Chain A
Amino acid sequence: MGGSKADIIAQLQRDILSLQGFRSTAKSTAADLGLGPIKHAFPNATFPTDAIHEFLSGAAEHSAATAGFISGLLGRLMQNTGACVWISTARSLFPPALKVFGIEPDQVIFVTMERERDVLWAMEEALKCRGLAAVVGEIKELSFMASRRLQLAVEQSNVTGFIIRHQPRYTGVTACVSRWQITPLPSELEAGLPGIGFPRWQVSLLKIRNGRPGVWQVEWSGGRCNLLTTPAIAGPQQPEHETRLRV
């Protein structure tokens, strides 16, 4: 009886997930985005590829760390389907650095728009384009309405969207599936060696729909995130049967 009840709950949970737009497509199951243990925070333990991910970034150093982390994810995403569009109001990304994260920098198209409003419009247009692997947008503010539009566009086309928000004034509710914050950590080398080691970040998953938020300290080496310490779960852990249908 207990076993069958657990089965029913698991089945219902899968139904709820599919109703909320989490489809286990061939693309998302095949893609191991090199996140290592972080992936257990996501529903079904797979990174939601058909969704918008929001990254908060403070100073320029943080935005560099954020860009690094996203590039790591992009490197894996682009292996399958190819091109990526990176939209901003002023390009500051240096393409040759992307190669380290497994991206062919010539497969990234940089779009510079004049206004933030146009960046959102361009993102929406780009997210509707099925031929892309991912779309990255750099903006400051993101209203719930705008994020909802982007999310709807994504659900049609299965393109992964990343939004980097530079020093946002308001961090209210958005329709994005997750909210991240990446901050740099001091790197470490083997004792006695001079120089700088592999990049290390503190990855904070502040919000994740139907998942478990957490904080991890990782090092990017060998094309994947390697955990430094045991993951510290931030905030109350959501019991699995309490997943609510949120739009």
Chain B
Amino acid sequence: MPQRYVNIWFPHLMTDWFSIRRKELRNTAFVLAAPDHGRMIITAANPIAQWQGIAAGMAVADARAVHPSLQVIDDIPTQAEKLLDALGKWCIRFTPVTAVDLPDGLILDASGCAHLWGGETPYLEDLTTRLKNAGYHVRAAMADTIGAAWAVAHSVKEIITVIPAGEQREALLSLPPAALRLEPLVVERLLKLGLHHIGSFIGMQRSALRRRFGVEMLLRLDQATGMERETIQPLVPVEPYQERLPCLDPIITRKGIEIALERLLNTLCQRLQQEGKGIRTAVLKCYRIDGKIEQAAIGTNRASHHVDHLFKLFALKIDAVRPDPGIELFILEAPKVEDVTTSQEALWRDAGAIEDVGLAELLDRLAAKAAKEGIRRYVPDEHHWPERSIKLAASLGERPATPWRTDRPRPIRLLAQPEPVMVSAPIPDYPPMVFRYKGVVHEIKKADGPERIEREWWLEEGEHRDYYAVEDQEGRRYWLFRSGHYDVDNPHAWFIHGFFS
């Protein structure tokens, strides 16, 4: 596929930005200025000021002398970069690969994009009209190389210029040497020699050009004509698994979003299926016409390229997408993709139903509404301390490394935090006779214990616990413990920790 690049030049980037934000500035001459060696130097002038002969690089004092009512605004040093970054991201609706061209331009890799707009001229028209409506002065050019597009955009006084494929050399001939992105010194030397057009030196011997103007110039010349390849650094890295769906009319209904999502999922899953991969995480990005981006993200417990299942997961999240003025572009990305183990499904079904695909899909759906970390499965851990005797299973496939212990009684319901109880215990190291829990007095009839569980000193400090399983007069069974050793003076050391069935 032939490469096509677009260069967008914003001749009044910063002043346009100020005019958009402050309406009163639109019809007055104003300049931006920054201090430089103790003087205020103009960094940008709006079109009205420029027309009155004020240009960037002048001192503010000189400009005031020419035009006393000139407004001067302090420049914000890094604003241009931020602004270009935002504009570049906005341009993602036209092509996935956009890059910033400092100080005041953007480069888009439009290869294979223009046909969606019905041609290259309508493509550029749509792009420039939108930017113009937003309040920016723009010049855009499309060519086979970044260099040619840049040269044309910066030199031709037309808003849109399309250089047909392969004709960039001819287009360059009549342009001034500055259009080649050369050092100011080199440009000056060229003009001094009377070489006012690229055409007057493009045919010269390369060795002669190199000797007089340096290697840099030859490189720029080659980049513009397409002899040398030039690359750009995309603002947003292009995900390898990504699908785009531009819309003719802005989408505002849920049904519309669902249709778009289904189409994207179909194409993406078809591709994943061919490669034997499945989605672990996916993000649906909705580009609204007012420049905002709405997102919905899903995650799965095991890699899946099952359209119905993924669609159900997204369906739970679509409500969060606010399409207020309308969505014009949908992008579905799969940042995390894993191999699908389809061949194992049948084997695992016998070994343990926990590997069931239906179950994994169910958990994905539940995860959308469950509390934070709301879906848990436990495997035994090698600790005696009750709270640490279990740990979360890392995945659905994790098997217990050690067998579950049944040698000691454990309550079926465990309190998240042991609660203090009042007891009367007659003899040291005997279970209490009576305890009071939540205002109810329980008379202990039977008891088992003590089972001493030491605190793991390498993890935390504190007293050991002596656990007793006790049963009261009505047959209710509890798990009590005494923290530390028996102490007559301290009856508050008793806690209830659980209920036996």
Contact = CB atoms under 8 A, between A and B. Distances in A.
Majority SS of interface residues in chain B?
mixed
A16 to B, nearest CB: 32
A97 B376 contact: no
Given A64-B411, A111-B374, A96 B404 contact: yes
Contacts of B358: 129-131
B243 to A, nearest CB: 28
Majority SS of interface residues in chain A?
mixed
Nearest to B414: A94
Contacts of B448: 194-196
Interface stretch (B75-83, B99-107, B229-237, B365-373): B365-373
A108 to B, nearest CB: 7
A185 to B, nearest CB: 4
Interface of B: 352-354, 356-359, 362-363, 365-366, 369-371, 374-380, 386, 389-390, 393, 398-400, 404-406, 409-416, 445-448, 469-471, 473-478, 498-501
A85 B396 CA distance: 13
Nearest to A95: B378
B37 to A, nearest CB: 62
B370 A113 contact: yes
A134 to B, nearest CB: 11
B486 to A, nearest CB: 19
Given A64-B498, A95-B390, 8 more contacts: A61-B477, A96-B390, A105-B380, A112-B374, A184-B475, A184-B476, A195-B448, A199-B501
A89 B256 CA distance: 35
User: Which 9 residue pairs spanning A and B have beta carbons closest together?
Assistant: A68-B501, A82-B353, A131-B356, A64-B499, A186-B475, A94-B414, A61-B476, A112-B374, A131-B358
Contacts of A185: 475
Contacts, number: 188
B354 A100 contact: no
A241 to B, nearest CB: 39
B412 A110 contact: no
Contact of B501 (A71, A113, A121): A71
A215 interface: no
B413 A64 contact: yes
A224 to B, nearest CB: 15
Interface in A96-116: 96-100, 104-114
A33 interface: no
Given A130-B358, A184-B477, A186-B471, A107 B411 contact: no
A82 B410 contact: no
Given A67-B412, A92-B415, A113 B374 contact: yes
A240 interface: no
A112 to B, nearest CB: 4
Interface of A: 60-61, 63-65, 67-69, 71, 81-83, 85, 90-100, 104-114, 118, 121-122, 125-126, 129-133, 184-187, 189, 194-197, 199-201, 220
B394 to A, nearest CB: 12
A36 B360 CA distance: 35
Given A94-B410, A97-B410, A110 B475 contact: no
A93 B414 CA distance: 6
Contacts of A64: 411-413, 477, 498-501
A131 B353 contact: yes
27 contacts: A61-B477, A68-B412, A71-B501, A83-B352, A83-B354, A92-B415, A94-B386, A94-B410, A97-B411, A99-B405, A100-B410, A107-B353, A109-B376, A110-B378, A112-B374, A125-B366, A132-B356, A184-B474, A185-B475, A186-B471, A186-B474, A187-B477, A189-B446, A195-B446, A195-B469, A197-B446, A200-B475
A109 B352 CA distance: 13
Nearest to A117: B369
Contacts of A93: 412-414
Contacts of A130: 358
A199 B380 CA distance: 24
Contacts of B378: 95, 105-106, 108, 110
A59 B158 CA distance: 82
Nearest to A110: B376
Given A81-B353, A99-B404, A113-B370, A92 B477 contact: no
Given A106-B377, A112-B371, A132-B353, A60 B499 contact: yes
Given A60-B499, A184-B476, A92 B390 contact: no
A131 B414 CA distance: 29
A122 B369 contact: yes
Contacts of B366: 111, 113, 122, 125-126
A181 B475 CA distance: 15
A65 B501 contact: yes
A96 B357 CA distance: 26
Given A112-B376, A196-B477, A105 B501 contact: no
Contacts of B370: 111-114, 118, 122
A107 to B, nearest CB: 6
A83 B369 contact: no
Contacts of B406: 99-100
Nearest to B476: A61
Contacts of A60: 413, 499
Contacts of B471: 186-187, 196
A94 B412 contact: yes
A110 B377 contact: yes
A240 to B, nearest CB: 34
A78 to B, nearest CB: 8
B393 A106 contact: yes
